[in-house]
Amino acid sequence: MEFCVLASGSNGNAIYLRSTQSGKAILLDCGISHRQLKNRLEARNRNLAEVSAIFLTHEHSDHVRGLNVTQKYYQIPFFLTRGTWTGLRNKSHLVDFQLLNPTEQILWEDFKIEPILKSHDAIEPVAFNVSLNGFQLLYATDFGMPNPALLSRIKTADVLIFEMNYDKLMLETGPYPEYLKLRIQSDQGHISNADSMAMIQEYAKPELKFFIAGHISENNNHPIIVQREIEQMLAKRGDLNPEVIIASRYEATELFCL
């Protein structure tokens, strides 16, 4: 399994995943411009032509921004829940999509993709658990509270791309208006560093290979704080030794392989 976080955060989100066995690739979310997608993939010696499907988590613009133009040039089929389709704007030119049943797994090439409903202020948002080449990757950002299905998938993940959106103190003392602070902290908003780490500490398996912190707020969080929180969690657990990466909104991570 090869993967790369092309972008993560409120400016845009996109994950690239490729089977080292078949050479087929997919995207999870398409929230940066077509040009950015193309450039960031080419910088990793990969390209959009090898992407055979796009799976969308929800309709917020930071997850779908590049969809229209990418579809226009490449006619890549995309998958989304009925609620996400309902919430999607500017969709009259979009073709070749399939509705996801959020309780059913999809088999696509050699990928097995399991949507997991999540709590977020979108119509029918999902996280994705992807099984590929004997490994499992859980992509879970944009959720305000966990549910049993999501927690059970933390337990099986070899790769976690997991939200650490805000530091509670920075958010509470920061510049955001009150209504926005409440929205972010609500059950339908985002996950704080502390809540994220509590989940990983409790559920991650000792064999976890990669922990990638994602959707980090630019105003209410800082990579140094995120790094420290992860180190503290790892010290408490003692038996976890994943490669730790802090995903960026501005550039892709390297292309990881396992």
Q: Using CB under 5 A as the criterion, which residues of the chain lie in contact with Zn ion when the complex forms?
A: 60, 62, 142
Cβ neighbours, 10 Å, residue 238: 8
Return the biggest CA–CA distance within the chain: 52
Q: ∠ at Cα 131 (16, 51), nearest 5°?
A: 30
In the 8-state DSSP scheme, what is residue 253?
A: P
Cα 194 from Cα 15, distance rounded (Å): 24
Q: Which is nearer to Zn ion, 2 or 62 (CB)?
A: 62
Nearer to Zn ion, 54 or 234 (CB): 54
CB of 10 to Zn ion, least distance (A): 6
**Closer residue to Zn ion in complex, CB, 60/153:** 60
Please enumerate, as own/partner, the contacts of 69-72 that have beta carbons within 8 Å and a separation of 24 or more: 69/33, 69/34, 70/30, 70/34, 70/37, 71/95, 71/96
Q: Which is nearer to Zn ion, 131 or 196 (CB)?
A: 196
CA–CA separation, 62 vs 5, rounded Å?
14
The pairing of beta strand 106-108 with beta strand 111-117: antiparallel
- CB burial class (10 A; 0-12, 13-18, 19+) of residue 148? exposed
Q: What residues are paired with 17 via a beta bridge?
A: 3, 26
Comparison of 114 and 142: residue with beta carbon closer to Zn ion: 142
Please report which residue ranges of the chain form alpha helices under DSSP H: 34-42, 61-64, 67-74, 82-87, 148-156, 168-173, 178-185, 193-203, 223-237
The pair of structure tokens assigned to 92 is: 């009259």
Whose Cβ is closer to Zn ion: residue 142's or residue 195's? Answer: 142
Q: At what angle do helices 67-74 and 34-42 cross, to 10 degrees?
A: 70
